[in-house]
Structure 1
Amino acid sequence: MNLLAIGAAIAALTGIGAGVGIGIATGKAVEAVSRQPEASGKIMQLLLLGGALAEATAIYGLLVAIMIIIFKP
């Protein structure tokens, strides 16, 4: 049981990586908009796409953690 809990906790930690990644991407997007305000539309589109992909990994990690807890091997 202890190894299952550790595995679920490690899988749930993917949310930290996604949060850090989105934070870095947002900071870089703000820098890019401050340098080139006319390109803000394109920059925001790319930021939203990158944020969605980063959050997808966090959701997959959460699903794996839930599956480890519910479907104990």
Structure 2
Amino acid sequence: MPNRVYKKIEVTGTSTISIEEAVQSALKHASQSVRGLSWFEVLETRGNIIEGTVDNWQVTVKIGFALD
């Protein structure tokens, strides 16, 4: 088996519901244009506050995939 080479991209998903949904949003959109996604790591979690409550979650992830 040959050695593999991987590339990482960084994307930010958003959600008004949860952190997990923001991650899923990022992965879903990335998978529409990049093949063979293998893993992800959460880099940053943040959100918007309106009137003292969370209005929107924003989660930045790095996503790894093997190059052809």
Which of the two has higher C-alpha Rg? 1
Larger RCO, structures 1/2 (Cα 8 Å, 6+ apart): 1
Structure with the higher fraction of residues in helix conformation: 1
TM-score, structure 2 as length reference: 0.29
